[in-house]
């Protein structure tokens, strides 16, 4: 899903050649039917199985979008002229990145391209976020993140996030501590931008329990849409469908009042 930050996050779901505004369907019955077709999000070819959230096996092992540095940015070597695709690296690795602290349920450390703020925070279901440092490339941002992982987790507790359990924290104070943790050669990238971004999601009521639904186990996921947070649709205030998990799946959507 693509998204836009306003008073409440606005979501758009690409289905086939259409872009469907999803917020309008909250409190309505929705049905998603899997049509038994998966297309690789990189090359477009049909694949029997999705790897790494949307790739065929060949692209998963060869495409720049599935490079090691996507999950382990400190191992990015684009600044040394080493990458799966030089042009892709120029646009995705050798550009300004930010290191941030975000609160979805727990507080976490993360990085993203500067142009992906606040989209990355919304995708992770963060309620609050602050930029800690800004770097000229992915490798330095990944190095800062790796160092700060001694003090903060880099994982989002997706179940806690979907239950609306947001830890109370002073993000500005945490940013100051994070910068103090860094050695001098990395501390220089800490930014004076102390803006805390607050994100409100279209959720009527957070579920007490969450149950994950996947098209790898069922052909149909249906229920009343009771909220959207991160990349998850909440159905019947219990079942959750991770849209990003199903990148490349051919789906038919029906809506009734």
Whole-number pLDDT of residue 257: 74
Question: Tens digit of pLDDT for each residue in 186-210?
Answer: 999 999 999 999 999 999 988 889 9
At residue 178, does pLDDT exceed 90?
yes
* Mean pLDDT, residues 35-44 taken together: 94
> Helices 138-148 and 171-181, interaxial angle, to 10°?
100
Split at pLDDT 50, 70, 90, the class of 148 is: very high
Query: Nearest 5 degrees, angle CA 11-CA 15-CA 17?
Result: 115
* Mean pLDDT, residues 50-63 taken together: 94
Structure tokens at 245: 């998990």
At residue 16, does pLDDT exceed 70?
no
More confident residue, 82 or 165: 82
* Mean pLDDT, residues 58-70 taken together: 94
> Longest C-alpha distance within the chain, in Å?
59
At residue 15, does pLDDT exceed 80?
no
Question: Tens digit of pLDDT for each residue in 102-119?
Answer: 999 899 999 999 999 999
Q: Compute, in degrees rounded to 10, the torsion defined by CA atoms 177, 179, 181, 182.
A: 180
At residue 4, does pLDDT exceed 90?
no
Whole-number pLDDT of residue 208: 86
* Mean pLDDT, residues 212-220 taken together: 92
């Amino acid at each position: 899903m693509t998204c836009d930050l306003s008073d409440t996050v606005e979501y758009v779901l690409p289905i086939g050649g259409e872009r469907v505004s999803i917020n309008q369907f909250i409190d309505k019955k929705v049905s998603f039917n899997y049509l038994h077709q998966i297309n690789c999000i990189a090359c477009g070819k049909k694949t029997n199985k999705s790897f790494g959230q949307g790739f065929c096996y060949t692209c998963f092992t060869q495409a720049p979008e599935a490079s090691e540095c996507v999950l382990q940015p400190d191992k990015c070597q684009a600044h040394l002229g080493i990458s799966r695709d030089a042009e892709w690296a120029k646009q995705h690795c050798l550009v300004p990145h930010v290191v941030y602290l975000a609160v979805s349920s727990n507080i976490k450390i993360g990085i993203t391209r500067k142009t992906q703020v606040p989209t990355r925070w919304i995708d992770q279901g963060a309620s609050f976020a602050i930029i800690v440092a800004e770097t000229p490339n992915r490798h330095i941002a990944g190095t800062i993140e790796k160092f700060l992982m001694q003090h903060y987790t880099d994982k989002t507790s997706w179940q806690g996030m979907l239950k609306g359990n947001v830890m109370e924290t002073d993000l500005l104070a945490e940013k100051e501590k994070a910068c103090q943790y860094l050695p001098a050669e990395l501390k220089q990238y800490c930014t004076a931008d102390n803006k805390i971004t607050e994100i409100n999601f279209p959720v009527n009521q957070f579920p007490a329990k969450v149950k994950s639904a996947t098209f790898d186990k069922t052909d149909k996921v249906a229920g009343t849409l009771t909220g959207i947070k991160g990349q998850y649709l909440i159905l019947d205030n219990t079942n959750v469908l991770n849209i990003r998990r199903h990148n490349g799946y051919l789906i038919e959507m029906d809506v009734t009042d």
